[in-house]
Chain A
Amino acid sequence: KAGVTQTPRYLIKTRGQQVTLSCSPISGHRSVSWYQQTPGQGLQFLFEYFSETQRNKGNFPGRFSGRQFSNSRSEMNVSTLELGDSALYLCASSLVLAPDTQYFGPGTRLTVL
């Protein structure tokens, strides 16, 4: 069974631009969560989607948004990029909302110049 896939793997943007990252969960998994990983803040929870609905949200500004499609694929969008948004963005999928184990994708490395 294929693992969690994320595209693109690497992205370079400039301040003020917007970006969309994509995540395809493991087949059959319905829950997708997003995390931001930076050297200074570590791993921080962004949000979680289940059945196309946002179920949980972390403490990030409204510039960070996401959605989930009927096939469970998810996208996250960051508008008006700031230098501090440079990070590894990780997507994780699980079978059901809770409780369940999350399996992570390889991440998208976003660099904001």
Chain B
Amino acid sequence: GEDVEQSLFLSVREGDSSVINCTYTDSSSTYLYWYKQEPGAGLQLLTYIFSNMDMKQDQRLTVLLNKKDKHLSLRIADTQTGDSAIYFCAERPDNFNKFYFGSGTKLNVKP
């Protein structure tokens, strides 16, 4: 089945850039997503990218997609303490509304 992998932890200093990485296995994935989850809350959609794109930028967020290596990354510029949360990568195979999530990367931003 589909397998989405992420590193579990990332620690950065406030003001630095954060890069969260994700690998996926389903080559038919049409959409790839990044969600943010703060303690005690649901998932907040941050951004998504179509599989026919290489890059998408949205304010402080930059998503890079390497389809050949099935690698997705999320870069957060000028990371703030409010960015501390768990970040989930998710893929959705073509023609399904079923999402497959990674285990989440816990981002800790130190002041």
Chain A residues within an 8 Å CB radius of B99: 33, 35, 45, 92, 102
Docked Cα-Cα span, A104 to B104, in Å, equals: 16
Q: Using A42-B104, A43-B88, A99-B92 as known contacts, say yes or no to A90 and B97 having CB atoms under 8 A apart.
A: no
Number of interface residues of A (CB under 8 A): 27
Complex CA–CA separation, A97 to B96 (angstroms) = 8
Contact present for A94 and B97 (CB under 8 Å): yes
Q: Could you tell me the distance between the alpha carbons of A55 and B35 in the complex, rounded to whole angstroms? A: 23
User: A41: shortest Cβ distance to chain B, in Å?
Assistant: 9
Q: Is the interface of A mostly helix, strand, loop or mixed?
A: strand
Q: A45 and B100: CB pair below 8 A?
A: yes
Identify which of B41, B44, B95, B97 contacts A48 (C-beta below 8 A): B97
How far apart sit A42 and B102, CA to CA, in the bound complex (Å)? 8
Q: Which residues of A contact B48 (CB under 8 A)?
A: 101
Which residues in A have some Cβ–Cβ distance to B below 8 Å?
4, 6, 31, 33, 35, 42-43, 45, 48, 50, 55-56, 58, 90, 92, 94, 97-107
Q: A42-B103, A94-B97, A99-B97 are in contact. List 4 more A-B contacts (CB 8 A).
A: A4-B42, A48-B98, A56-B96, A102-B45
